[in-house]
Structure 1
Amino acid sequence: MAVGKLYIGRKVRDLRLASQTTQAQFSERLGISISYLNQIENNQRPVSAAVLLSLADKFRIDLSDLSGGEGDRLLSALSEALSDPLFAAYTVNLHELKLVVHNAPGIAHALIAAHQAFRHNSEQLASIDDTLGRASSVAENTPYEEVRDYFHFVDNYVHDIDMMAEELAQEIGIGDLEAFTSLSKYLENTHGVQLSRANQDDDLMRSFDKEKRVLTLNPYLPPATRDFQIALQIAQLSAGQLVDRVAANAAFRTTEAYEICRIGLHNYFAGALILPYRQFLKAARQVRHDLDLLTVRFGASLEQVCHRLSTLQRPGQKGIPIFFARIDRAGNITKRHSAAKLQFARFGAACPLWNVHQAFEAPGRIIRQLAQTPDGVRYLCLATQISKGGRGFHSGRQHYGLALGCEISYADQFVYADDLDLANVKAYDRIGISCRICERTDCASRAVPPIKSQLIVEHHSRSQLPYKIRSLVE
């Protein structure tokens, strides 16, 4: 597959401004003309390999930090928003979208937010009855979605919190001793907090009494969940000020979103504490991302390991660009993040041809799939089922499918690709992102037609779909 041209004008301009140099000075250090630099900064020309190497040499930057990860996420979200029938008079042009994303990302974010507001408004108006008088706020994005988008667009990596958690993990000996011993000793010795067992009938996972300095845990929690809850308490006590500052800097519209973000950031710290960045990255490379071995090595759950793999985006020390998602039986995506080109739909269910749906049929197994999206990018996709809850016969269980994967160029660094024929084009399943925005016209598994598409209905003939779709690129 051909490598796309790299348009990173905004990043080059930010680098120049950070170095406090004029275009003339900057172009001289790079060994290029002022006009070429001007064209690069305005995304009129891509960056050549020679310029990339010169940027790395002259300004000591990691080339991986110039990748288009953020742009891919923003481009996907903007493309989906503009595919709405609301914009029926406008045909989405990929070149124009890239210009907006690269040159004016703030406008792209604003348009996405406006589209979300429109959707919420439309959905609530469709079901409104006697609550019309309270409809003034329906156009706002929900606090949960606002926080979800915050983590999505920071690449699911929060540097200051990750660094602090790693430093604390080294201080208390995570990885040298069993995690429960390290965490509980630190909690008692540093914060004076004792552990206690909840009553047998108590359904709480954890409860902290600030006055008595007692953390009460459910005695039937799995070890990995128990350790995470202790790490979460340490996060609240040790990183509270940092978390508050990061959440405040996100400038959420409501107090509710701010508080939800604080929970997310405390959880982030807890995950980074029990799975320290460099230690975890090194182990992942050593075992070639074998999920079972990583869970045993760190005493973590499968979901914790998969989630952590998707956050390894530290500048200068990046892991494999991985996508990660958790879905329920109804196909709802309850967690999603992608450092790869694959981006999840913001609305609607996931593609039915994606192997994550098969995970519910084969509990305990890791299902592999070679897949290709409509843009021609190929992926190694892994899926498995997990169960949560179930503390006793009468307690309910929640079942989720976990999806994890990478672009095929990184597949050799995964043990799961060892016996797969990666070069065989026919081995790749043709998946999409979501039926409502998928451009494939010949998919028999399509649930609904793509929005902004023209349907051709023929009454005297019938194929697998009751209609034909005029190609979106015509």
Structure 2
Amino acid sequence: MAQRKLYIGRKVRELREAHKTTQASFAERIGISTSYLNQIENNQRPVSASVLLALAEKFQIDIGEISQGDGDRMLSALSEVLNDPLFENIAFNQQELKLVSQNAPAFARALIACHEAYRRNGEQLASLDDTLGHGSAIAEPTPYEEVRDFFHFVDNYIHTLDLYAEKLAVELGIGERDTNASLSAHLEKRHGVRITRADPGETILRRFDPKAGVLFLSPYLPLATRNFQTAVQIAELEMEAEVGEIARRAEFRTAEALEICKMGLRNYFAGALILPYQAFMATARSLRHDLELLAAHFGASVEQVAHRLSTLQRPGHKGVPIFFARLDRAGNITKRHSAAKLQFARFGGACPLWNVHQAFETPGRIIRQLAETPDGVRYLCIATEIAKGSGGFAAPHRRYAIALGCEVAYAQDFVYADGMEITNRTAFDPIGISCRICERTACQQRAVPPLKRRLMIDKDVRYPLPYRIG
């Protein structure tokens, strides 16, 4: 198999600029000519193994990290955009897309944003909304979509908040002592805030009265959720300046997006405090990523643990690349992040062949699946159903399914791989990302035809699908 050529010009240029050195002196330090360095930085030539080793030796960088490139996440989003019939008369090859995503990420994000606006306008027209024409016809991303993309493109890892949360967790003995007692004592000792039960009739999870110095928590919350909400309050009291600065630097279009991002950043800090980076990653490895054992060890929920595993993206000290998603019963993806090659579609639902949908049929159980995507990458997939109630017999209960997984190269790091035929290719179920961009022609579960493919209709022959894909 031919070795993949590595184009990481933008990363090399950023490394040189971070050290405030010229191309000539940088090239001399790693033992290459200035013209070769210039070609590397402009992605005109790939980086050789000897150059990679020189970069690692001279600048103490992680070879795996710099050679990984920026590609998978941005490339996936860009590929989906350019698969739209809008671009059907324009041919793009994979190398061109890689060059754009690696060398001009701001341009790629702008194109993705333009395509989202185009899609929303099309959906408005298709729905024949009565208000169309009476207001603005320009579709903009919703505040939640803006914030979703912000976290997506920072790898769902916020270094400043993660480091502070880890430092505080060590001080409080999180993972070694009772988490609830430690968080409550810290809140009262440092901030003079005591925790009490909210009125059973209140439909809240958390309510803070700053004047009285009282944090009210719903009496119906499970312990893991109480811990999380207490940690969110600590974030609000101790990290508001950092949270505000990170959110402002994102330059959101609306005040709503800014506030939603700040809420997300507080939640991020809370998760990082309850599940501190180094201790959590070491425990995850020793327990082979057993979700239930990790939850019990840290006083967290299975969902909190699964989500945290997908955020272990600290430079130079990354965890297993994991994808994570939460779906409702209608198939809507309400949370998503992937540090693996698998990237979730930005439009449409999830593949119906994915085992996450089966989780609703087996509440309380963790189900496993070996799956292969159309690009030939194989995964170990884990899914389980979770329910969230708000108290009382008549109270509504929200039900979700969460899913996480990794490429099979990392499967042995998971207890869930035991007894599965990970070396048997026929044991893998063929799944896709979304029907509209899936190239599988023989899938009988297909909901809509793939984009940019010709459909063949035979009035005399009826297949499971009413068309064949050309």
What TM-score, normalized to structure 2?
A: 0.96
CA deviation profile, 1:444-468 (whole Å, cap 9, x unmatched): 1111101121111222333332212
CA deviation profile, 1:83-116 (whole Å, cap 9, x unmatched): 1122222234212211211121111000000011
SS in 2 for 1:135: coil
In structure 2, what is the equivalent of residue 222 of structure 1? 222
> How far off is 1:45 after superposition?
3.1
Q: Does 1:187 align with 2:226?
A: no
The AA in structure 2 aligned to 1:292 is E
SS in 1 for 2:393: coil
> How far off is 1:220 after superposition?
1.4
In 1, Cα distance between equivalents of 2:148 and 2:301:
22
Q: Does 1:284 align with 2:300?
A: no
The AA in structure 2 aligned to 1:425 is R
What are the ranges of 5 or more consecutive residues in structure 1 without an aligned counterpart? none
SS in 2 for 1:337: strand
In 2, Cα distance between equivalents of 1:284 and 1:159:
20
In 1, Cα distance between equivalents of 2:462 and 2:3:
40
In structure 2, what is the equivalent of residue 240 of structure 1? 240
Of residues 284-293 and 29-38 in structure 1, the stretch that sits farther from structure 2 once superposed is: 29-38
In structure 1, what is the equivalent of residue 55 of structure 2? 55
Written as runs of structure 1 = structure 2, the 5 A alignment for 1:336-351 is: 336-351=336-351
SS in 1 for 2:271: helix
SS in 1 for 2:323: strand
Q: 2:221, 2:390 within 8 Å by CA — same for their partners in 1?
A: no
In 2, Cα distance between equivalents of 1:228 and 1:176:
17
In 2, Cα distance between equivalents of 1:110 and 1:296:
43
CA deviation profile, 1:304-363 (whole Å, cap 9, x unmatched): 000000000001111011100000111100000000110000000001111111111111
Q: 2:124, 2:132 within 8 Å by CA — same for their partners in 1?
A: no
In structure 1, what is the equivalent of residue 359 of structure 2? 359
In 1, Cα distance between equivalents of 2:47 and 2:410:
23
Against the structure 1 CA distance between its residues 434 and 466, is the aligned structure 2 distance closer, same or farther, given a 3 Å change threshold?
same
In 1, Cα distance between equivalents of 2:3 and 2:318:
20
Q: 1:124, 1:138 within 8 Å by CA — same for their partners in 2?
A: no
In structure 2, what is the equivalent of residue 406 of structure 1? 406
Against the structure 1 CA distance between its residues 394 and 67, is the aligned structure 2 distance closer, same or farther, given a 3 Å change threshold?
farther
Q: Does 1:84 align with 2:96?
A: no
In 1, Cα distance between equivalents of 2:406 and 2:380:
6
The AA in structure 2 aligned to 1:213 is G
In 2, Cα distance between equivalents of 1:292 and 1:216:
28
Against the structure 1 CA distance between its residues 465 and 12, is the aligned structure 2 distance closer, same or farther, given a 3 Å change threshold?
same
Q: Does 1:26 align with 2:26?
A: yes
In 2, Cα distance between equivalents of 1:40 and 1:409:
30
Q: 2:372, 2:428 within 8 Å by CA — same for their partners in 1?
A: yes
Q: Does 1:427 align with 2:395?
A: no
> How far off is 1:129 after superposition?
4.4
Of residues 99-108 and 110-119 in structure 1, the stretch that sits farther from structure 2 once superposed is: 99-108
> How far off is 1:24 after superposition?
3.0
In 2, Cα distance between equivalents of 1:307 and 1:69:
23
Q: 1:206, 1:216 within 8 Å by CA — same for their partners in 2?
A: yes
Q: Does 1:127 align with 2:127?
A: yes
The AA in structure 1 aligned to 2:317 is Q
In 1, Cα distance between equivalents of 2:69 and 2:124:
34
In structure 1, what is the equivalent of residue 310 of structure 2? 310
In 2, Cα distance between equivalents of 1:70 and 1:403:
24
In structure 2, what is the equivalent of residue 333 of structure 1? 333
> How far off is 1:302 after superposition?
0.4
In structure 1, what is the equivalent of residue 301 of structure 2? 301
Q: 2:144, 2:260 within 8 Å by CA — same for their partners in 1?
A: yes
In 1, Cα distance between equivalents of 2:215 and 2:330:
35
SS in 2 for 1:436: helix
Q: 1:285, 1:413 within 8 Å by CA — same for their partners in 2?
A: yes
What are the ranges of 5 or more consecutive residues in structure 2 without an aligned counterpart? none
Written as runs of structure 1 = structure 2, the 5 A alignment for 1:157-236 is: 157-236=157-236
In 1, Cα distance between equivalents of 2:105 and 2:193:
46
Against the structure 1 CA distance between its residues 429 and 69, is the aligned structure 2 distance closer, same or farther, given a 3 Å change threshold?
farther
Against the structure 1 CA distance between its residues 231 and 170, is the aligned structure 2 distance closer, same or farther, given a 3 Å change threshold?
same
SS in 1 for 2:368: strand
Q: 2:70, 2:101 within 8 Å by CA — same for their partners in 1?
A: no
SS in 2 for 1:136: coil
In 1, Cα distance between equivalents of 2:129 and 2:38:
56
CA deviation profile, 1:44-81 (whole Å, cap 9, x unmatched): 33323332222111110122322546421111111111
In structure 1, what is the equivalent of residue 456 of structure 2? 456
> How far off is 1:2 after superposition?
7.6
In structure 2, what is the equivalent of residue 323 of structure 1? 323
Against the structure 1 CA distance between its residues 209 and 84, is the aligned structure 2 distance closer, same or farther, given a 3 Å change threshold?
same
CA deviation profile, 1:244-273 (whole Å, cap 9, x unmatched): 011011111111100000000000011111
